[in-house]
Amino acid sequence: MASSLLSRQIALSLPQNLRLCAPGYRYVSKTAAKTLEEFEYDGPSMKTEVPGPRSKELMKQLGEIQNVGAVHFFCNYEESRGNYLVDVDGNRMLDVYTQISSIPIGYNHPALMKVMANPNNLSAFVNRPALGILPPENFPDKLVESLLSVAPSGMRRVQTMACGSCSNENAYKAMFIWYRNKERGHNTPSQEEINSCMVNQMPGCPDLSILSFMGGFHGRTMGCLATTHSKAIHKLDVPSFDWPIAPFPKLRYPLEEFVRENAQEEARCLEEVEDLIVKWRQKGKPVAGIVIEPIQAEGGDNHASVNFFRSLRNIARKHGCAFHVDEVQTGGGGTGKFWAHEHWGMEDPADVVSFSKKLLTGGYFHKDELTADKPYRIFNTWMGDPSKNLFLAEVLNVIKRENLLEEVTRSGKALLHGLYDLQAQYPHILSAARGQGTFCAVDVCDDATRNALIAKARDKGVILGGCGERSIRFRPALVFKEYHVHLFLNIFNDILARYK
């Protein structure tokens, strides 16, 4: 089998200290490498084009079971390490996309292996509880130790969920419930409401709406999908709700060079938001909440200014709408702060903040008043997975211990400046480099060139992701250091040079 062959090759080629902390080894804690340099590989190593022959074979096999049109290649996760993802053909690639931005501290981090080696943790993996009715003894403590230790300003309450879509769906429900109780002036529904909701009708199922933004992405279940407007392929053929959609500012980059034009564009969008809130109220479909990403990710890494978000938060407050900041992709440190909205510098940035991906568990924080007023209103069988909280607590320890947010800020500066240099050198290919921390992106002249660059980078040992119509997004793990940035920039420069 490819993986065992590879493991032999690696055993032969690695220094002794690396062999001892190979992922297969149980008691990593005792022999764990002290630094990332010691732990991970020293660079990409390519043996075939990607996908290689073994990946193609497996793709055929999986194709009998599922649509594999989106599969890039098959991975050897056992041999992957730190910033390097190893595939089943023995190719080792620098991962600047990290499973759609969902690997916080790299592959097989010794601290996470340690969670697995602790016998006290086993039962959390083997016995998944129905958290909403029968939580384990350590659940409150683990929440305090993990999620609550990074609670956004003004929030002390959190609800875990299994994934990003479920997090947003339930956050929307919490906003609808809160809004209706506010409209009623109390939380006792009428008999008419109770009866009509059972058959999907008003007033029990009210015609409330969530205001979202063009280019936004909030998930693919039907509530979330009604607020997602990034690509047609996500939405086509699925029934939806008639909810208001505001324009997201289309800014010019770098932001600091186009302050005046950008401020005008943002003012236009904010005005439109207020108009839509009024219009939908008049239509009988009041806006219960506004949902927005601090940086539109899937939609093309679209930024807006601090002033835009502050004004939007005020508009929400003024019109009595809940303000929901979706940090599923931006949360967890990639922007150099744990939450992207911290860059706004507000004491009361939001009513709801949802998360998933790098947090390993889904869920949402919320203000006290958005707590569901009765049991079983925000509920499902699993309500998350406490085994993910164990990993998250360790991830947060590592972030603190290794000052990873500072590292991200440092690496991010190097990455953004490198992209500025490259776009100056290849202005016919690259433009609009932008980013916060390592959460960076750059536009490519067209869709086809963007896709070609991503494919070429992969064959040279770098995994990148696309977003929007013609952007490349950078989503490395928090352990992506300055020397990884330079490694990437050199490889990318070589590829671009061919296009000159």
Residue ranges in 56-75 that form contacts with a second copy under rule CB under 8 A: 58, 61-62, 64-75
Is 326 considered catalytic here? yes
Binding marks (x or -) toward a second copy, 284..303, rule CB under 8 A?
A: --------------------
477 near a second copy, judged by CB under 8 A: no
Can you tell me which of 21, 32, 112, 440 binds a second copy, judged by CB under 8 A?
112
- Does position 99 interact with a second copy (CB under 8 A)? The reply is yes
Report DSSP letters for 38-100, one per residue: HHS-SS-B-SS-SS-HHHHHHHHHHHTTS--TT----B-TTT-BBTEEEBTTS-EEEESSHHH
CA atoms within 13 A on the CB side of 189: 18
Which residues have a Cβ under 8 Å from the Cβ of 398 and sit 6 or more positions away? 105, 109, 111, 404
DSSP 381-445: SSSS-HHHHHHHHHHHHHHHHTTHHHHHHHHHHHHHHHHHHHHHH-TTTEEEEEEETTEEEEEES
One character per residue 222-241, x = contact with a second copy (rule: CB under 8 A) = xxx-x--x-xxxxxxxxxxx
Distance CA 168, CA 223 (A): 8
Find the shortest distance in angstroms from Cβ 422 to a second copy: 26
Determine which one of 73, 176, 217, 248 is catalytic: 217
Check binding of 34 to a second copy (CB under 8 A): no
Q: Which residue from 127, 264, 425, 490 is in contact with a second copy, where contact means CB under 8 A? A: 127
Q: How far is CA 322 from CA 40, 43, 150, 218, 319, in A?
A: 44, 47, 21, 16, 9
Q: Which one, 25 or 258, has the nearer CB to a second copy?
A: 25
Residue 381 is among the residues annotated as catalytic for this protein? yes
- Which of these is catalytic: 357, 358, 388, 456? 357
- Are the CB atoms for 251 and 296 separated by under 8 Å? no
Give the separation between CA 356 and CA 6, rounded to whole angstroms.
Answer: 33
Q: Under 8 Å CB-to-CB from 173, ≥6 apart: which residues?
A: 223, 377, 378
Backbone phi, then psi, for 310, in 5-degree steps?
-65, -40
CB of 80 to a second copy, least distance (A): 7
In the complex with a second copy, the residue whose CB is nearer, 96 or 429, is: 96
Site for a second copy in 238-277 (CB under 8 A): 238-243, 245
Active site annotation includes 348: no
Q: Does 12 bind a second copy (CB under 8 A)?
A: no
- Report the nearest approach of a second copy to the CB of residue 226 (Å): 6
Known catalytic residue: 34? Answer: no
Does residue 454 interact with a second copy by CB under 8 A? Answer: no
**Among residues 14, 20, 197, 445, which is the contact residue for a second copy, using CB under 8 A?**
197
Q: Which of 82, 152, 219, 437 binds a second copy (CB under 8 A)?
A: 219
Beta bridge partner(s), residue 467: 471
The secondary element (H helix, E strand) that includes residue 269 is helix 259-282
Q: Which is nearer to a second copy, 173 or 413 (CB)?
A: 173
Smallest separation (angstroms) from a second copy to the CB of 423 = 27
Q: Which of residues 325-364 bind a second copy (CB under 8 A)?
A: 356-357, 360
Residues tagged active-site: 217, 326, 357, 381
